Amino acid sequence: MDTTSPAAAPRFSIDCPSRPILDQISDKWSMMTMEVLEQPTRFNEIKRQLDGVTQRVLTQTLRRLERNGLIRRRVLETSPVGVEYSLTPLGESFRGPFICLLRWTIEHSAEVVTAQHEYDERSSAR
């Protein structure tokens, strides 16, 4: 009787379609941008609400979210021309799970920071 078990197959294969999507929607700027877009919002207002984001990074983030179908870009016929961003129905459906993750992060951030400090102290003592 063979008691060895076959090697477990990877749970997420290298060509799993979820990998690039998770990579594109789960970075900090994408998640914070999705939170800011509770209503249609112009570029500069999004930038003002995301302290520390550069114009270049915000532009890349918005393009990536638009490409993934989570937000919509609308050119406003104003003088000067403005651009407004809003969530698509797909983006709205993402807000539910995202808000849970955001709340968890806020509620547990002190615990995570404490764990990081404890780890760093243990690591530096090695």
Model confidence pLDDT, tens digit, residues 28-71: 899 899 999 999 999 999 999 999 999 999 999 999 999 999 99
Which pair of structure tokens corresponds to residue 8? 């477990």
pLDDT of residue 78: 87
DSSP 20-70: HHHHHHSSHHHHHHHHHTTS-EEHHHHHHHSTT--HHHHHHHHHHHHHTTS
pLDDT in tens, 69-101: 999 999 999 888 899 999 999 999 998 888 888
pLDDT of residue 34: 92
pLDDT of residue 98: 84
Q: What global pTM score does this model have?
A: 0.79
What span, in angstroms and rounded, lies between the C-alpha atoms of 23 and 84?
Answer: 25
Which pair of structure tokens corresponds to residue 101? 């993750």
69, 40 contact by CB (below 8 A):
no
pLDDT in tens, 3-31: 555 677 788 788 888 888 888 788 889 98
